[in-house]
């Protein structure tokens, strides 16, 4: 996949459009577009995006969605109206408390898919090595059902597109606290796609799948990996599990591209789950995935967002680190948060105490990237 002649190949590309903010459930729903708005505001305020060209996506079209979703389901999303009269079993998962119907749902969900597809195309065409679309990561959407705040499965559509455009070994890494069930399901019998999900143990968290014995079907046996971790798991333990499993799996699978779902609901303050990571641990995970793509996939890394419901204190810092990681513009955890951002979120979310620095002073004892002479791999501080 050479760079087009005469054109610059950038290291990292950020995919963004304000249309991502149209993916708006209800005011009470935990997945709020302000997560994305506050993230982009923080990244800008830190100067992280200075000189970075933003790639503006358009909506995915029907043919793109049909790679993963059934015609009936797509039509149901297009036609969905808020229910009138007595409540019935919601068809195709639409109209449940997790996935209430909202105006423009089909269009908004299609733009999210378009963002992840634009990232995939930019990498496949050699215009960039890495691309990030924080609007994506809707890993629960199924062929014929909305599930867990996810309408269309952007990562699965993009992986399917990559399979038809020159890639035949793709690794998908999912660090969201929830199991990446929709993506696993889409490629469960496809030996060309390795799916790895770390998540809170299925006995303790929805969707209650992602057991270690789910390993892939038929010719794809061994190409699904699930690493459940117990409630209360902190940075050092989580990273120990990641490094015990993921590098070896990628070395054996030899992917041509790494696709990462970067949900940040693993944080100790997240209201939806019970892991205990810090922003520092999440930053370490992003850097580890980037470095693995550098080592095993010639640097090709497509990162998407996902869950994360600490909309002032967690998501903006964590995903700013994700953007910085893709752009090779490291932000130290000690970095002070600019006053203009603090003022912005104080005006829009007065009840929350905004963070002051880009780190949490987290428990990162496992730092293999420090190399020999670093703190080593066995520490488990605090
Ligand atoms: C509306 C308003 C919906 C408040 C949903 C938490 C809400 C949740 C809400 C919620 C909530 C879930 C279940 C439903 C079992 C089902 C993007 C019958 C305070 C990637 C999706 C989690 C996670 C779905 C998405 C989960 C992602 N948890 N308040 N809903 N019930 N659904 O438990 O992986 O992060 O919680
Ligand atoms: Ca996961
Ligand atoms: Zn999640």
Band (4; pLDDT cuts 50, 70, 90)? low
For residue 345, the surrounding DSSP H or E stretch is: helix 339-348
For residues 162 and 170, the answer to whether their CB atoms sit within 8 Å is yes
Q: State mean pLDDT over 358-371.
A: 72
Can you give the pLDDT at residue 378? Answer: 36
Can you give the pLDDT at residue 13? Answer: 97
Task: List CB-based neighbours of ion ligand 3 within 5 Å.
Answer: 176, 178, 263, 265, 307
Can you give the pLDDT at residue 374? Answer: 45
Best of 20, 27, 30 for a ligand 1 pocket test (most atoms within 8 Å of beta carbon): 30
- Tell me whether the omega of the peptide bond preceding residue 239 falls within 30 degrees of 0, making it cis: no
pLDDT in tens, 182-221: 999 999 999 999 999 999 999 999 999 999 999 999 999 9
Q: State mean pLDDT over 168-176.
A: 99
The rounded Å distance from CA 332 to ligand 3 centre is: 26
Band (382; pLDDT cuts 50, 70, 90)? very low
**Phi/psi of residue 39, nearest 5 degrees:** -65, -50
What is this model's ipTM? Answer: 0.99
For residue 182, the surrounding DSSP H or E stretch is: helix 181-186
pLDDT at residue 345 greater than cutoff 80: yes
Least confident among 83-92, 113-122, 153-162, 289-298: 83-92
Closest CA to 233 of 124, 131, 366: 366
Report helix, strand or coil for 173: strand
The rounded Å distance from CA 148 to ligand 1 centre is: 6
DSSP character at residue 89: P
Contacts of 93 (CB under 8 A, 6+ apart): 99, 142, 145, 146, 147
pLDDT at residue 121 greater than cutoff 50: yes
pLDDT at residue 302 greater than cutoff 80: yes
How far apart, in Å, are the Cα atoms of 148 and each of 81, 98, 139, 141, 306? 19, 6, 9, 7, 11
For residues 239 and 229, the answer to whether their CB atoms sit within 8 Å is no
* Ligand 1 atom with the shortest distance to the CA of 25: 1
Rounded CA separation 230/241 (Å): 11
Locate the DSSP E strands across 60-210: 128-133, 170-174, 193-200
The rounded Å distance from CA 375 to ligand 3 centre is: 31
Contacts of 317 (CB under 8 A, 6+ apart): 42, 279, 337, 355, 358, 359
Is 140 annotated as catalytic? Answer: yes
Within 6 A (CB) of ligand 1 lie 28-30, 97-98, 137-140, 148-150, 176, 178, 206, 263, 265, 271-272, 306-307
Best of 33, 98, 202 for a ligand 1 pocket test (most atoms within 8 Å of beta carbon): 98
The pair of structure tokens assigned to 97 is 């408390």
DSSP per-residue string spanning 5-20: TTSPPEEEEEE--GGG
């Amino acid at each position: 996949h050479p760079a087009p002649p005469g054109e610059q190949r950038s290291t990292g590309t950020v995919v963004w459009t304000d249309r991502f903010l149209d993916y708006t459930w209800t005011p009470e729903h935990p997945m709020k577009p302000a997560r994305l708005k506050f993230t982009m505001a923080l990244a800008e305020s830190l100067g992280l995006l200075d000189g970075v060209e933003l790639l503006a996506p358009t909506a995915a079209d029907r043919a793109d969605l049909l790679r993963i979703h059934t015609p009936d389901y797509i039509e149901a999303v297009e036609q969905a109206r808020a229910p009138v009269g007595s409540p019935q079993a919601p068809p195709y998962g639409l109209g449940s408390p997790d996935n209430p119907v909202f105006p423009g749902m089909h269009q908004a969900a299609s733009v999210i898919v378009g963002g992840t597809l634009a990232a995939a195309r930019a990498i496949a065409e050699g215009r960039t090595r890495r691309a990030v679309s924080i609007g994506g990561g809707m890993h629960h959407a199924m062929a014929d059902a909305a599930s867990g705040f996810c309408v269309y499965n952007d990562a699965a559509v993009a992986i399917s597109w990559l399979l038809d455009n020159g890639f035949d070994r793709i690794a998908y890494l999912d660090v969201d606290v929830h199991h990446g069930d929709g993506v696993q399901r889409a490629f469960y019998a496809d030996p060309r796609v390795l799916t790895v999900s770390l998540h809170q143990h299925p006995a303790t968290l929805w969707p209650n799948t992602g057991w270690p014995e789910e390993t892939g079907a038929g010719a794809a046996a061994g190409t699904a990996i699930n690493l459940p971790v117990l409630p209360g798991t902190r940075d050092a333990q989580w990273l120990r599990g990641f490094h015990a499993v993921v590098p070896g799996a990628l070395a054996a699978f030899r992917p041509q591209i790494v696709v990462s779902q970067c949900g940040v609901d693993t944080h100790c303050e997240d209201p939806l789950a019970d892991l205990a990571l810090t922003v520092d641990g999440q930053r370490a995970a992003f850097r580890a995935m980037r470095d693995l793509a550098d080592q095993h996939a010639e640097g090709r890394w497509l990162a998407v967002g996902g869950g994360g419901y600490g909309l002032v204190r967690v998501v903006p810092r964590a995903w700013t680190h994700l953007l910085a990681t893709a752009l090779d513009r490291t932000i130290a955890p000690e970095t002070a948060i600019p006053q203009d951002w603090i003022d912005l979120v104080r005006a829009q979310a007065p009840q929350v105490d905004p963070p002051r620095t880009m780190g949490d002073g987290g428990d990162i004892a496992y730092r293999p990237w420090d190399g020999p002479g670093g703190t080593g791999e066995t520490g488990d501080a605090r």
